[in-house]
A and B are shown apart, each in its own frame.
Chain A
């Protein structure tokens, strides 16, 4: 690695803490960001000669704060330019600052920084864009690329989000326990959104959008470092790792979606799986279950099966059952039905999803799953209707292609037996 790459990595890892502290100090996001930028510029000048300071975040906070104060003074014309001598005595300053940056501040600073990005007034896409910009420090260009929009459009989206956050009034007092755990939950949800934004990419765009998954994992890791006894954060981290572990197997060379049971499991990233499993293990010891832990446990059961037929569907059915109680949703029931179809057959599974038809009448996966159950029951005409509806609702071309594969198979199966149904 070059010197510059090292410095870059240091600045990236110090960013959440530094911007978080500067935000607490200035109570203004733009000022905090600008102060951090200034500190980074000075670091690029100073560090190659003087070496990287032991506590890079403290250095950046100190220098950023001073630079911003100078800025204010300069614009107020109250004082002449302050030269670099003012920040030369950084060792002492570092120590003093380190004292003030006690553990709880540091945690709440970063949590606050993450939390303002998930303001309920902001639509999900703006929350994500804002977090990637402010917390992760990705450039507008990088974020625009991951979202497949122009740089100008992304710039506008972020500016708009920032304005909303500024008007909403950021809570600066140290949060109480309840407030803190609410923030934690909101931030966890936002991190999961970032991950899904990358994970739900189609084959053609999955490579471009992969940084979103990696960034979400990095943020989850950061959050877990701050709150290391929170089983749900362990669960979230495990869930992201276990899902991301399958990245290399999820698309074929043509960009087509490969279903879990058809994936080449040797392509799964065993290192990520090991870490995910370790975290789930750790989380379960707390006996405080939650939706992320359950979803991670389900993902772990898939990861544990070397072959699809080794999958412990009975256990997965039970876990989805628990998730249904905790977080009732037709989508959870739909997922459970897939497990039920493996354990008790397609008839039972079909019965289970029948009542969901109204609520999921515009949901691609509902019709895909329904079609698959009907097909297994030999009710080919009904299956075809479901698959046609699924294609009409497909979000990506990969999804549509996948369903078309089923339809083609139905066609092939039905021709020799002389069925007259034709494909629409």
Chain B
């Protein structure tokens, strides 16, 4: 089963990390990602630009384009993973492992209903 792990965190907080702090977190996350990759369980991984770069299309009639993220919350969607896991327990374990090296915020674990890996976008 494919699971999406959606990464929520306060982006002001993440943004206040020094370059070194940021790099330290990323390098620890990479260790986990590399292992998942070796096990053939790692799908796409994305780190998103800050929500200040976000635009929302409200699908009203007619649709409205708004600046900013869809929801105004304390914690923002900052990135996501797609991973292949036996079951929810295994997915939670992966999230725990990622969380151990990147504490704070929350991971939302969502089973993936449809997955189109695409090919061209880089």
Contacts and interface: CB of A to CB of B under 8 A. Distances in A.
A282 B55 contact: yes
| Residues of B in contact with A, size category | 20 to 34
Given A1-B24, A285-B65, A275 B16 contact: no
A87 interface: no
Given A55-B74, A275-B53, A282-B53, A229 B68 contact: yes
Contacts of B66: 229
A282 B49 CA distance: 13
A13 B50 contact: no
Contact of B68 (A222, A228, A285): A228
Interface stretch (B7-15, B78-86, B90-98, B111-119): B7-15
Interface in A200-251: 218, 221-222, 224-225, 228-229, 234, 237
B77 to A, nearest CB: 15
A172 interface: no
A221 B50 CA distance: 9
A279 B68 CA distance: 11
B17 interface: yes
Contact of A274 (B24, B49, B74): B49
A334 B19 CA distance: 36
Given A1-B24, A229-B67, A278-B53, A9 B74 contact: no
B53 A1 contact: no
B52 A237 contact: yes
B62 interface: no
A60 to B, nearest CB: 13
B63 interface: no
Interface in A294-339: none
Contacts of A12: 16
Contacts, number: 55
B101 to A, nearest CB: 9
Nearest to B76: A225
Given A1-B25, A221-B15, A275 B49 contact: yes
A359 to B, nearest CB: 37
Contacts of B53: 275, 278-279, 282
B21 interface: yes
Given A9-B16, A13-B13, A1 B74 contact: no
A6 B15 contact: no
Nearest to B69: A228
Nearest to B15: A221
Nearest to A3: B103
Given A218-B15, A229-B68, A275 B103 contact: no
Given A221-B50, A274-B49, A9 B67 contact: no
Given A221-B52, A225-B51, A274-B49, 19 more contacts: A1-B17, A1-B24, A5-B21, A9-B16, A10-B13, A12-B16, A13-B13, A54-B74, A221-B50, A225-B12, A229-B68, A237-B52, A275-B53, A278-B53, A279-B52, A279-B53, A282-B53, A282-B55, A282-B67
Which 3 A-B pairs give the minimum distances between C-beta atoms?
A13-B16, A13-B12, A229-B67
Interface of A: 1, 5-6, 9-10, 12-13, 52, 54-55, 103, 218, 221-222, 224-225, 228-229, 234, 237, 274-275, 278-279, 282, 285
Interface of B: 10, 12-13, 15-17, 21, 24-25, 49-53, 55, 65-68, 72, 74, 103-104
